[in-house]
Chains A and B, each alone.
Chain A
């Protein structure tokens, strides 16, 4: 059977990690390529790079980073942030990423999902979703609304309806980020994760809130996620990926233990 995937997420700006990463064992790393190599050796199942480069003109720096990462690690990785056109996707995929992730650009232009899937296959298109809890209403029956601009702008779109629409348009996977849980380190938004994961037929990567090893177990058992995005829990040395996987393995979750 498929293993549940553990996916570290790296934020990159102008070709550098936004924060220096201090792994368990005090390895200090600021270069995304070196960092990717470290996680590759550590047993990450996949990596996500999120490019927060503000200036569109400096995108070529990210492409160069992607190319260097692809020469060094041999597991899938995806790139998100600032991808607005099929041509943007082509550049990132050609540089060696396995997948691209689109978020606000897909909300502004849902046709981008379909165009990307037609050009590169659904397996290459990840729909990134930033979601906020709201009181259920006629317009937002699930009680979860899609937000953009880092959670500042509400879109009026129901998260469940958007997830289904994304799948219909050809997204191959969903990366589901709870803005409410993000940064709290108090655990993933389990109810949201379960709602989306059990109502679409594409894999769901849960994101936002992982602060303890138990949270990752919960998001697989209760949240029914296919993969878990992690950041600070490994970036700042709380745990290694092997520790996380050993814990999950003991709990009876199938994870990749040999690499």
Chain B
């Protein structure tokens, strides 16, 4: 069973609907026991880092996540979930889970297009991901594919080995992170059309081992 972690951060049913479409059952849960019993975990989220961490701790899901990561369960972070796996976030100055070393930063105010036009924050819409390496979760996904993003903060991993994919929006940022049994994407695979569904489908078959 796939556990979609529910920590009251945003609409989780869209992830569940996408899984249903590709023929995968899932359960939306805020029970730490259920998360630890699951075969694999999806860690989504829309909202602010401060409230998210507060609710994770209240539900004891923070320790469950650390434990699940430690025992090698395949984990997929999405959007805010991807930021929460870092050590800390500039958003509400929040201490996060620390599964990947580094911080979450806000897009600078004065970023602009190569043509000079000021860029709007949040970064919202379709953008490309430049892969820095191979990963089973990205198997069979056309490198020209685009994914749907909505965010004002982005993860800044300290170690380049954790950067699996990069996206450019005024500045380059890490849009896909990987560390052993964890893959985390800043975009929304459940809203990214066929390439997004392919990613979810790959994740559902991944053994959690970090090899191409």
Interface of A with B (CB < 8 Å)?
A: 1-3, 5, 40, 45, 70-72, 74-76, 93-94, 96, 98, 121-123, 172-173, 201-203, 224, 226-227, 256-259
Specify which of B10, B113, B124, B197 is in contact with A74 (CB 8 Å cutoff): B197
In the bound complex, residues from chain B placing their C-beta under 8 Å from that of A201 are: 118, 120-121
Instruction: For A203, give its contact among B114, B120, B127, B169 (CB under 8 Å).
Output: B120
Distance A45 CA – B196 CA, assembled complex (angstroms): 13
Chain A neighbourhood of B47, CB < 8 A: 121
Measured between beta carbons, the chain B residues less than 8 angstroms from A259 are 145-146, 193-195
Instruction: Give 10 new A-B contacts, CB below 8 A, not counting A1-B113, A70-B17, A172-B124.
Output: A1-B127, A2-B125, A3-B125, A75-B191, A94-B11, A96-B14, A123-B122, A258-B145, A259-B146, A259-B193
Quote the shortest CB–CB distance from A121 to chain B (angstroms): 6
In the assembled complex, 18 residue pairs joining A and B whose CB atoms fall closer than 8 Å, in A order, are A1-B168, A2-B124, A2-B125, A3-B125, A40-B193, A71-B20, A74-B21, A74-B191, A75-B191, A121-B46, A123-B46, A202-B120, A224-B117, A226-B125, A257-B144, A258-B144, A258-B145, A259-B195
CB distance from A89 to the nearest CB of B (A): 12
- Chain B residues with Cβ under 8 A from A45's Cβ? 125-126
Contacting residues, chain A, for B150 (C-beta < 8 A): 123
What chain A residues lie within 8 Å of B159 (beta carbons)? none
Binding site for A on B (CB under 8 A): 10-11, 13-14, 17-18, 20-21, 46-47, 113-114, 117-118, 120-127, 142, 144-146, 148, 150, 168-169, 190-197
Q: Which residues of A contact B123 (CB under 8 A)?
A: 2
Residues from chain B with Cβ under 8 Å of A1 in the complex: 113-114, 127, 168-169
Q: Cα distance A96–B146 when bound, in Å? A: 21
Query: Can you name the residue of chain B whose Cβ is closest to the Cβ of A70?
Result: B17
Q: Which 8 interchain pairs have the tightest Cβ spacing? A: A258-B144, A2-B125, A3-B126, A256-B146, A256-B126, A123-B150, A259-B193, A258-B145
Interface of A, helix, strand, loop or mixed by DSSP: loop
A172 and B150 alpha carbons, distance in the complex (Å): 10
Closest Cβ of chain B: how far from A3's Cβ, in Å? 4
How many Å lie between the Cα of A224 and that of B127 in the bound state?
Answer: 18
Q: Is A258 a contact of B142 with CB atoms below 8 Å? A: yes
Judge whether B21 and A2 touch: CB under 8 Å: no
A167 CB to nearest B CB, Å: 10
Using Cβ atoms and an 8 Å threshold, which residues of chain B touch A72?
A: 21
Q: With A and B bound together, what is the CA distance between A206 and B46 in angstroms?
A: 27
Beta-carbon contact of B193 and A2 below 8 Å: no
Contact of B191 among A3, A94, A98, A224 (CB under 8 A): A98
- Tell me the complex Cα distance, A121–B120, Å: 16
- Chain A residues with CB under 8 Å of B144's CB are 257-258
Q: How far is the CA of A201 from the CA of B124 in the complex (A)?
A: 12
How far is the CB of A107 from the nearest CB of chain B, in Å? 24
Residue contact A5 to B125, C-beta cutoff 8 Å: yes
